[in-house]
Structures are given as structure tokens and as C-alpha cells.
Amino acid sequence: MKENKLSFEELLTKNKLGIEDFKELDKASRFYTGIREKELSKTPIKGNFDYTHLKTIHKHIFQDVFSWAGKDRFELNLLGPMFKGDSMFCNGQFIPNEANRMFSNLKKQNYFKNCKNIDELAKNLAEFMGDLNALHPFREGNGRTQRIFINQLAQNAGYKLDLRLIDKDKMIDASIKAMDCDYKKLQTLIKVNLKSFKQNLEKEQSQGISY
């Protein structure tokens, strides 16, 4: 692998928008990525819910902001750990193997399409999302990419979910706890915001399941 010419910080400051101030970049980035996210809400990217699918979503969202959109930290030669606050995420050198493990397990579980009810689906989604957050494969934009991927994953399993409706502070707190393998808060947040499609709702109501 060729050595990356840009440092960890320069991957942000050397952006397509020509903005070097981090706060200004974040504001402008959210404007452009917001447009791209709306596009995906109307026309989701088709994929196999594998790691390539996740990276394709990231590439679409950040195509206006970063030349490296869709590439993970390993591909950018950022091989050490990544820190955010008190949280430490996966070392870049381990991302390929960890991603392969996670998405292989997801495939073995048939992408959660065999879940019997909302409780089981919320539990599975929380655990997968917690692991995906711990992986934190991208230099920037992990949260936005995760939300869209998880929303699509839930829809593929026959349910409707919009993680954008969850309070940001509550999501951050639940995600931090999930880093320590405590998925209860994240599972609760997902379940509250998880709405089944008509056929699933009718099926579960006929079984006496209340919400």
C-alpha cells in the first residue's frame, strides 16, 4: 500500500470545499451531506449489505466534500487507533479483518430478516450498530453513514426505522455504553423508533404483542 500523503488532520483541511477551519467545514459539510442523505432517503443505494455497501453509502454522502469519500482509514494508511473524546476506536490496521468478521456474521444471520418480533430485531440492530460504531472505519462521517445503513438494513428486514429522529445526545450516550458491550440503551432507543410495516404490525398484533 502506498503511503498516504495527507496527515490525519489534513484529510479534513484539504477538502474539496477549500475550508481549513474545522467548525466552518462541519457546517458546510452538513449542508452538502444533508442534500445527499435526502437523495438516499428517496432512492436508497442498492447493495448486499456488506462492507462494500457501507463504503458506497459513505462515498455518495461525502462526494462533494472529500476526495477520499468511500475509503476507510486502512485504505488511507491511517493504521493506528482513532480517538473521539474518551472513546478509542478500532486500529486502522485491523479494520479489514474486523469488517469481514462483522459482515460475515450479518450474512449468516440472514440480515436479521428472520427476527420474530421488534424486540429481537431491536436487539440485533443495537448490537450490530454498536460494533459498527466501535469499528469507526472512516476518518469522518461514521455516524451519518451508519444511520443510513442501519435504516436500510431494518427496511430490508421488513421494518421501518429512521435513526435521524433519535435525540443526538441520547444516541451519543447509548453509543458510548455500547462500546462497553452494554447495548440496553441503544436497543431501547431503536425499539421506540422502530415502526413495522403493515403486514408485520398486523402479524404481531394478532399474536397479542403490544407497544
Domain ranges across the chain: 10-206
Backbone angles phi, psi at 87, to 5 degrees: -90, 135
Residue with cell 445527499: 36
Helix, coil or strand: residue 190: helix
Q: What is the pLDDT of residue 196?
A: 56
Q: What is the pLDDT of residue 1?
A: 39
Give the CATH superfamily of 10-206: Fido-like domain (1.10.3290.10)
Residue with cell 472529500: 66
Q: What is the mean pLDDT of residues 139-144?
A: 96
Residue 23's alpha-carbon distances to 13, 29, 59, 147, 199, in angstroms, are 11, 10, 22, 22, 45
Higher pLDDT, 207 or 44: 44
Higher pLDDT, 3 or 41: 41
Handedness of CA 36, 42, 43, 46 (dihedral sign): positive
The model's pTM is 0.89
Backbone angles phi, psi at 75, to 5 degrees: -65, -25
Contact partners, residue 197, CB within 8 Å, separation at least 6 = 158, 159, 160
Note the pLDDT tens digit of each residue in 69-106: 999 999 999 999 999 888 899 999 999 999 999 999 99
